[in-house]
């Protein structure tokens, strides 16, 4: 995430966005491996967040859902 932040500060917005998305994807996959014991076979942030929310019995915030869907 630090690399994404540095690229953003340097004006490399496309790269910063890509790196931030990759960070979020790996973070969600790690959480799903920990909680479900299996790695999801998707790159969709929304689908992974939805699965994790079902496992943890919590709702996905509307803003999180909108942003995750926008990155697909």
Residue 71 has what pLDDT? 80
| pTM for the predicted model, two decimal places | 0.84
Whether the CB-CB separation of 23 and 4 falls below 8 Å is answered with yes
pLDDT tens, the chain, 72 aa long: 999 999 999 999 999 999 999 999 999 999 999 999 988 899 999 999 999 999 999 999 999 899 888 887
Q: What distance in Å separates the CA atoms of residue 29 and residue 39, rounded to the nearest whole number?
A: 6
Q: Which residues contact 22 (CB under 8 A, 6 or more apart)?
A: none
**Count of structural domains within the chain:** 1
Structural domain boundaries enclosing 31 = 2-70
Burial 50-68 (b: 16+ CB within 10 A, else e): ebbeeeeeeeeeeeebeeb
The residue assigned the tokens 């990155």 is 71
């Amino acid at each position: 995430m630090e690399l994404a932040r540095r690229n953003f500060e340097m004006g490399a917005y496309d790269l910063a966005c890509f790196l931030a998305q990759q960070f979020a994807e790996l973070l969600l996959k790690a959480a799903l491996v920990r909680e479900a014991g299996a790695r999801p076979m998707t790159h969709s942030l929304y689908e992974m967040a939805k699965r994790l929310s079902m496992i943890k019995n919590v709702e996905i915030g509307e803003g999180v859902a909108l942003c995750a869907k926008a990155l697909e």
